[in-house]
Structure 1
Amino acid sequence: MASVMVAAQCVVRAGDLEANLAMHIRFMQHAAEQGARLLVFPELSLTGYEPTLARGLAQGPDSGLFDPLRSMAREAEMTTVVGVPLRVPGLDTPQIAACVFKGDGSLGVYTKQHLHAQEEVFFYPGAGGELLCIDDRTVALSVCADFSRAEHPAQAAERGAQIYASSVLIGEGGYAHDSALLQGYAQRHGMAVLMVNHGGPTGGWAAVGRSAFWDEQGRCVAATAGTGNRLLVISRQADGWHGRDIVLAC
């Protein structure tokens, strides 16, 4: 049976937790229909990339807002990675987190380690997180600027990661450079790379979409055709990796 992972390229509403939560659930339903075992959303997907709003929108790990996401992930047995500003006891500013709702109902957290200079006013740097085990494959997470440091994917590969999944916000001006970096990491480390971008504007940035997946040789297996709400469905079959770009109406 093919192992399936999905990039959830989505268009978010600035600071609208209710609307974005409903959108996440719809994406999860569609991904489950595709047989996904891993679903990854972009950076700060639940709130939008809104640094000035992040402190007021931040959630603790036990937030009731997460209950529908946790229930859906458990019901579908689909590990789901959602971007959120995370409230941490003892810190004045939140961390940029990827909350991991696992198929067994448990919660994991990855926190962004490397911040852009302008982010340091609004966020506190994180400590990363554990590798995920999805079927028979190990997955390392990263959030946007993390992958700009070559040591980050290198350390992931040294820890045994077979897939490097990065939740990002990338615009037209940075896409060629950033996608080349990620492709190079796949080639250098023999580690497949999944990039999950926003599908529309957020935080004053015009995200370009074009989420992509590179195999262990750095070949681009599949990418979304552009912006908008899309699923990039990646499956591992006997003859290698395959991908499909599915446009969603939501």
Structure 2
Amino acid sequence: MKLCAVQCASVTGDIEANVARHAELVERAAPHDAELIFFPELSLTGYEPPLAKGLATHPEDPRLDVFQRLSVTHGMVIVVGLPLVTSGKPHIGMVVFQPHAGRLAYAKQRLHDDELPYFSAGERPLLIETREHRLALAICFESLQPDHAATAASLGADIYLASVAKLAPGMDEAYACYAAFAREHAMTILMANCVGPCDGAFGGGRSATWIDRGKRVNTLDATQEGILMLDTASLTSTVLALATPAA
């Protein structure tokens, strides 16, 4: 199975512009037979917690319909990040689009203390089932918690998709965590981080892939947008596309 982690810069607060950019990146991956593509945390709005309540929407938002069409056209699972409406504070969410199937939504279960004023936590894990794999979703802070990875493994996940919005100072620690989880649980891990504006600073990039035994097989740089593909059959990873450096 060919999986893609996208490293991209979001336009702060502009869902329509980000939808268009995401669609462009999906189209870039499609000719390479990508079967799943996923984006950084809150990729459709940018990671800006104070803005989340005003931007929060629901999985059936018509602005997202393009992803369902692209999923069907290319036979691809597409996973995007955005704040999701609840009766209280919004969730940090991911919406999953699958060919000829209903949309799925996942909400981040473990929030960082800084996120508690703006968001509420999700309550259950979500696994994507394919013919070859069971893929667990994880969002930033929770993806660095040993119990979250252990729960995914206990549910039969062999691939862990970490959608993050991390700044440069935290990346070395994140790399160490993902290598340890891949080694401990014999899971393949893909991490998609943002570049560009991120909560008053800039995303640290360095999206990467790990295979079992904790071996890191490919990495993007800290500033450029790009698409990192992993072939789970050969356990090889390639860079599909790089755009200009993020401003």
Query: Which TM bucket (shorter chain)?
Result: over 0.9
Q: Could you report, residue by residue, the CA deviation over 1:154-200 in whole angstroms, capped at 9, with x for unpaired residues?
A: 01001100001100011221110111001100001111111110022
Q: CA deviation at 1:22?
A: 0.5
Give the Cα–Cα distance (whole angstroms) in 1 for the partners of residues 184 and 154 of structure 2.
12
Runs of 4+ in 1 over 3 A off after TM superposition: 246-250
Does the aligned pair in 1 maintain the 2:37–2:79 contact within 8 Å? yes
Out of 200, 223, 227, the residue aligned to residue 223 of structure 2 is 227
Does residue 152 (structure 1) correspond to residue 176 (structure 2)? The answer is no
Give the Cα–Cα distance (whole angstroms) in 2 for the partners of residues 7 and 161 of structure 1.
17
Quick check: 164-173 or 197-206, which moved more? 197-206
Counterpart residue identity of residue 170, structure 2: G
- Structure-2 change in CA distance of 1:200 and 1:134 (3 Å): farther
Counterpart residue identity of residue 5, structure 2: A
Does the aligned pair in 2 maintain the 1:161–1:191 contact within 8 Å? yes
Superposition pairs of residues 22-37 of structure 1, within 5 angstroms: 22-37=20-35
Q: CA deviation at 1:217?
A: 1.3
Q: Could you report, residue by residue, the CA deviation over 1:184-239 in whole angstroms, capped at 9, with x for unpaired residues?
A: 000011111111100222221321111000001110111113322100011123xx
Q: CA deviation at 1:63?
A: 1.0
Does residue 57 (structure 1) correspond to residue 55 (structure 2)? The answer is yes
CA RMSD for the aligned pairs? 1.3
Gapped regions of structure 2 (runs ≥ 5): none
Give the Cα–Cα distance (whole angstroms) in 1 for the partners of residues 223 and 230 of structure 2.
18
Does the aligned pair in 2 maintain the 1:38–1:134 contact within 8 Å? no
Q: Could you report, residue by residue, the CA deviation over 1:32-64 in whole angstroms, capped at 9, with x for unpaired residues?
A: 111111101000000000111111111112211
Does the aligned pair in 2 maintain the 1:14–1:203 contact within 8 Å? no
Aligned to 2:52, the other structure's residue is in SS state helix
Identify the residue that residue 245 of structure 1 maps to in structure 2.
239
Q: CA deviation at 1:76?
A: 1.0
Superposition pairs of residues 106-185 of structure 1, within 5 angstroms: 106-185=102-181
Does the aligned pair in 1 maintain the 2:229–2:239 contact within 8 Å? yes
Q: CA deviation at 1:133?
A: 1.6
Superposition pairs of residues 78-117 of structure 1, within 5 angstroms: 78-88=76-86, 91-117=87-113
Counterpart residue identity of residue 36, structure 1: A
Does the aligned pair in 2 maintain the 1:40–1:80 contact within 8 Å? yes
Aligned to 2:95, the other structure's residue is in SS state strand
Count of aligned pairs between the two proteins: 244
TM-score by length of 1: 0.94
TM-score by length of 2: 0.95
Does the aligned pair in 1 maintain the 2:144–2:178 contact within 8 Å? no
Give the Cα–Cα distance (whole angstroms) in 2 for the partners of residues 163 and 12 of structure 1.
26
Give the Cα–Cα distance (whole angstroms) in 2 for the partners of residues 55 and 130 of structure 1.
23
Counterpart residue identity of residue 139, structure 2: V
Does the aligned pair in 2 maintain the 1:41–1:81 contact within 8 Å? yes
Give the Cα–Cα distance (whole angstroms) in 1 for the partners of residues 197 and 96 of structure 2.
24
Aligned to 2:232, the other structure's residue is in SS state strand
Q: Percent of counterpart pairs with the same letter?
A: 35
Q: Could you report, residue by residue, the CA deviation over 1:97-129 in whole angstroms, capped at 9, with x for unpaired residues?
A: 011011224211111001111111111111243
